[in-house]
A and B are shown apart, each in its own frame.
Chain A
């Protein structure tokens, strides 16, 4: 063997060795946030070891053979004669892959059964109802508190907006998943669990996060220079939508906020108080906007631009020769594609018919009025009596009788 060939082969195996050593130090998985992390990570690193060993062996051998037998100008005529088959060798080298894949399957299956088997309802499991829609999340808690939102953000004053999913620590939490319009997927990378939200069916998934996980997460976050709750009452983990759902799919990031048990009851009340405070139609409209209507995903209330027009100052604006009034807003909510606002052509808002009832729409209208400096005593003026209205399922006259729908203009 020539010296250069030997050096080449040596270099190949040094590279293999270096890559092998380096592979040990790559931190593949996100921080362990409880849930199914331990199990998944164990299998991951087992398969990873299989990957690294097989890959480096195959790569190293391939380069070794290529260098060892490299053709020169002199031996172009040479044909190598050797064994063309050997059934014993074939069977022998088929065995390791068979054994390895069976191990992977069994290990993965065992872990998957834990994920698929819901905790018994009678236990201290906590249930959250999760409904996804374009493009926000709505979380309904056991005490009726509803929290909704889309992209999580925190402004400089520390005010938070967007989807926050509060759950208690140290007990199983079950999520009942559904979707209002198209497929979505709820994913907690730090707990290594995800499930699709499918319209027309309930899917279930569950996690348990411990108080210890909360402390570890906060320590890790503090180390990386992120703010954490000073009293360590809770820890935040990311949550993502993982099933492509249209335009703002990437704007459905939220926070999974896990509370230590001693603070959980208080937090549940905090979530609920917000519901009880929505007493006037304006409050109700504000709640629909930021909460379960999810309007906030597209319509701002401070004049800033978004997917849809802002609601600030919307009242009484001229839209294609018509003022924005109750009738306009009602139709814009139930038949959004009837009027396209200039500059927003092609932005397809889904109809809210069947989702917001007549009272809900009144709340939204009241809220829009309040954002346009309409005096408070005028906000509650009812709809003009001489107009036909759509109540979400049918058109009605001012007496409440069903009528033929008016022609679209």
Chain B
């Protein structure tokens, strides 16, 4: 047993992982299946979430490649064999539905809160765990059970409603819509429980001296996300239950044949699912705020504006759902109000981008893999955000609604941005989570490949959409062939890039160098723990300071990492300048 040194003593802090292979940390302090399956440790739950959401991402990704490949051939190969053509069309419809549903409910929504949030949020407030560890474990099992329902859908008729479950088609389809709806219902609880936990943790478990404005911006983002998760997800839950009741019991709520109203479903559905878009993107915005500041070696610019813009996005997100229904026949006044409210979301989003740029201005930019992803994020989020203007404005949206323009837009925002923040965040906290360093060269190769592949896949879809290509089409008129060919080529490049990322991670786990405690010189509390952290996170109570004041750490060439200065406390007391 080595001495548990205070984190101020840098030899122990950074030397220990190398010197002491016997060191007990959260990964090896107990062994066996049950020590994981019944763990209450937020870090182990984060690892289980990581494995789970990456599995979901693989499933959703396979479906994406299947549908892009089908669009490459435009089902012409089977022309003349109409029975097969019908089978192919059905298969396509299932592929895009499962791609969307799996990616949204099982990957993007839980990814950053479930993995990165679970791992670092308690550590960022210097706690040993979240406020309700058992609820946290239950959240993961809700995710698992919900996902198993979706797995069962694949083997019991599939699903062809689109991830939106629009009525009345979702009531009439013979595919396993009821099972999928119940799966999404259960997945919703996973999300709610994570949100409750984060709110309670941030409120109750901050250490002495850490006020709201000493919190890292990721926490502000996760907190804003949690508000949406808690307030919006129940609406989805009841909507999906009503849908299931209609399918199973024939209660007429949404189906006009039974006296219901199909547009009511759209209102209910988007009342959750538009805020859910911000469940997907807000944590990404938080991750990027962390990376940009640390890798610019400079205090974040406009902390309060970034923090409050997260809250503003979360609150505005609740009152814009009607912009999904401009063509549904809702009244013109309603459409106008929703259009105006939607425009308001652009402002906090723009404020964030400007503040990141101001942070980078005159920074000492360290162009490592996490920073490449963060810059990729800014690029994609800017395109995604700016193209949102076309869709928020009323008469241009009438043209673009349900075309590939919308597909491209939301992939830039939800997928490009969130995926880049997720991968970038994982690279950023990878040394902390795994205790291993990754290969920087292949990290950068992967980042550039994913970036090129993503833009090739989706930018061309803006053009296809503005020229009229409707979404969810198994085959399409000849004039759209070039767009689809380019897009499919891009999707293969994107896949290649993601495999490079995956192999880099696997290589790091197997062959990676032991990670120092603070490889980036960051000042979040989590960097005061060892890599990987001990079972109870910190060996000594972490010292609280401005998370973006990097003066308290100095670079140590021998270990290629940063160690805490002896006069850390005085430096923090002086404050950022």
**A and B found bound together:** yes
Cβ-defined partner of A244 (8 Å) among B169, B304, B343, B403: B169
Contact, CB under 8 Å: A65 / B365: yes
State the CA gap A182–B301 with chains docked (Å).
Answer: 51
Contact, CB under 8 Å: A347 / B86: yes
State the CA gap A200–B260 with chains docked (Å).
Answer: 9
Q: Is A85 close to B, CB under 8 A? A: yes
**Chain A residues closer than 8 Å to B472, beta-carbon distance:** 244, 249-250
Cβ-defined partner of A185 (8 Å) among B336, B382, B402, B475: B402
Cβ-defined partner of A112 (8 Å) among B174, B257, B398, B466: B398
Closest to A248 in B: B89
Q: A228 to nearest B CB, angstroms?
A: 16
Q: Is A22 close to B, CB under 8 A? A: no
**Chain B residues closer than 8 Å to A83, beta-carbon distance:** 301
Q: Is A55 close to B, CB under 8 A? A: yes
Contact, CB under 8 Å: B394 / A90: no
Contact, CB under 8 Å: B555 / A36: no
**Chain A residues closer than 8 Å to B81, beta-carbon distance:** 305
**Chain B residues closer than 8 Å to A194, beta-carbon distance:** 327, 398-399, 401-402
**Chain B residues closer than 8 Å to A15, beta-carbon distance:** none
Per-residue 0/1 for A269-307: is the Cβ within 8 Å of any B Cβ (1 yes, 0 no)? 000000000000000000000000000000010001111
State the CA gap A306–B81 with chains docked (Å).
Answer: 8
Which B residues, 429 to 486, have Cβ-Cβ distances below 8 Å to chain A? 463, 466-468, 470-477
Contact, CB under 8 Å: A105 / B299: no
9-residue interface stretch from A71-79, A119-127, A211-219, A325-333: A71-79
State the CA gap A318–B340 with chains docked (Å).
Answer: 63
State the CA gap A103–B526 with chains docked (Å).
Answer: 45
State the CA gap A83–B576 with chains docked (Å).
Answer: 9
Contact, CB under 8 Å: A58 / B382: yes
12 contacts between A and B (CB under 8 A): A26-B463, A77-B555, A79-B297, A80-B298, A101-B347, A181-B172, A192-B395, A193-B398, A249-B473, A250-B473, A251-B475, A306-B82
> Do A84 and B301 form a contact, CB below 8 Å, given A108-B339, A199-B256?
yes
Q: Is B31 close to A, CB under 8 A? A: no
Closest 4 CB pairs of A and B: A200-B256, A189-B468, A108-B393, A111-B395
Q: Is A316 close to B, CB under 8 A? A: no
Q: Is B29 close to A, CB under 8 A? A: no
Q: Is A7 close to B, CB under 8 A? A: no
Q: How large is the interface on A (under 10, 10 to 19, 20 to 34, 35 or more residues)?
A: 35 or more
> Do A65 and B329 form a contact, CB below 8 Å, given A43-B393, A79-B298, A97-B347?
no
State the CA gap A256–B87 with chains docked (Å).
Answer: 29
Query: 14 new A-B pairs (CB below 8 Å) besides A28-B466, A101-B343?
Result: A54-B386, A66-B375, A69-B365, A84-B576, A85-B302, A94-B350, A112-B394, A187-B468, A199-B168, A201-B329, A203-B329, A246-B160, A246-B169, A306-B82
Residue of A26, A70, A76, A346 with most chain B CB atoms under a 10 A cut-off: A76
Contact, CB under 8 Å: B379 / A59: yes
State the CA gap A83–B359 with chains docked (Å).
Answer: 9
State the CA gap A280–B517 with chains docked (Å).
Answer: 88
Contact, CB under 8 Å: A240 / B169: no
Contact, CB under 8 Å: A104 / B393: yes
Which B residues, 246 to 280, have Cβ-Cβ distances below 8 Å to chain A? 256-257, 261-263
> Which residues of A are at the interface with B, using a C-beta cutoff of 8 A?
26, 28-30, 36, 39-40, 43-44, 47, 50-51, 54-55, 58-59, 61-62, 65-66, 68-71, 75-86, 89-90, 93-94, 97-98, 100-102, 104-105, 107-116, 181-183, 185, 187, 189-190, 192-196, 198-201, 203, 238, 240-251, 253, 300, 304-307, 343-344, 346-348, 350
> Do A112 and B362 form a contact, CB below 8 Å, given A79-B551, A249-B472, A249-B473?
no
Which B residues, 158 to 193, have Cβ-Cβ distances below 8 Å to chain A? 160, 162, 166, 168-169, 172-174
State the CA gap A58–B375 with chains docked (Å).
Answer: 11
Q: B440 to nearest A CB, angstroms?
A: 13
Contact, CB under 8 Å: A62 / B357: yes
State the CA gap A192–B403 with chains docked (Å).
Answer: 12
**Chain A residues closer than 8 Å to B474, beta-carbon distance:** 249-250
> Do A55 and B382 form a contact, CB below 8 Å, given A28-B467, A69-B365, A198-B328?
yes
Q: B154 to nearest A CB, angstroms?
A: 16
Contact, CB under 8 Å: B347 / A98: yes
Q: Is B492 close to A, CB under 8 A? A: no
**Chain B residues closer than 8 Å to A36, beta-carbon distance:** 395, 398
> Do A250 and B475 form a contact, CB below 8 Å, given A79-B550, A183-B168?
yes
Contact, CB under 8 Å: A59 / B477: no
> Do A62 and B375 form a contact, CB below 8 Å, given A77-B554, A85-B303?
yes
Residue of A29, A40, A114, A304 with most chain B CB atoms under a 10 A cut-off: A40
Closest to A58 in B: B382
Contact, CB under 8 Å: A242 / B302: no
Q: Is B241 close to A, CB under 8 A? A: no
Residue of B168, B347, B393, B576 with most chain A CB atoms under a 10 A cut-off: B393
Q: Is B39 close to A, CB under 8 A? A: no
> Do A112 and B332 form a contact, CB below 8 Å, given A195-B327, A240-B468, A249-B472?
yes
Which B residues, 92 to 106, have Cβ-Cβ distances below 8 Å to chain A? 93
> Which residues of B are at the interface with A, using a C-beta cutoff of 8 A?
80-83, 86, 89-90, 93, 160, 162, 166, 168-169, 172-174, 256-257, 261-263, 296-305, 326-329, 332, 335-336, 339-340, 343-344, 346-347, 350-351, 353-355, 357-358, 360-367, 375, 378-379, 382-383, 386-387, 389-390, 392-399, 401-403, 463, 466-468, 470-477, 521, 548, 550-551, 554-555, 576-577
> Do A253 and B168 form a contact, CB below 8 Å, given A65-B365, A71-B367, A77-B555?
no
Closest to A26 in B: B463
Contact, CB under 8 Å: B364 / A58: no
**Chain B residues closer than 8 Å to A247, beta-carbon distance:** 86, 89-90, 93, 160
Contact, CB under 8 Å: A40 / B174: no
> Do A30 and B394 form a contact, CB below 8 Å, given A58-B382, A65-B361, A97-B350?
no
Contact, CB under 8 Å: A80 / B363: yes
Closest to B474 in A: A250
State the CA gap A304–B81 with chains docked (Å).
Answer: 8
> Do A62 and B379 form a contact, CB below 8 Å, given A84-B576, A85-B302?
yes
Q: A318 to nearest B CB, angstroms?
A: 19
Residue of B332, B358, B375 with most chain A CB atoms under a 10 A cut-off: B358
Cβ-defined partner of B336 (8 Å) among A107, A112, A182, A347: A112
**Chain A residues closer than 8 Å to B166, beta-carbon distance:** 183, 243-244
> Do A249 and B477 form a contact, CB below 8 Å, given A55-B383, A79-B550, A94-B350?
no
Closest to A56 in B: B382
**Chain A residues closer than 8 Å to B463, beta-carbon distance:** 26, 28
**Chain A residues closer than 8 Å to B401, beta-carbon distance:** 194, 242
**Chain B residues closer than 8 Å to A90, beta-carbon distance:** 302, 305, 351, 354-355
State the CA gap A403–B548 with chains docked (Å).
Answer: 82
Closest to A309 in B: B83
State the CA gap A343–B82 with chains docked (Å).
Answer: 12
Contact, CB under 8 Å: B468 / A108: no
Contact, CB under 8 Å: A101 / B468: no
**Chain B residues closer than 8 Å to A183, beta-carbon distance:** 166, 168-169, 262
**Chain B residues closer than 8 Å to A78, beta-carbon distance:** 297, 364
Contact, CB under 8 Å: B398 / A192: yes
Cβ-defined partner of B393 (8 Å) among A77, A107, A253: A107
Residue of A39, A58, A102, A189 with most chain B CB atoms under a 10 A cut-off: A58
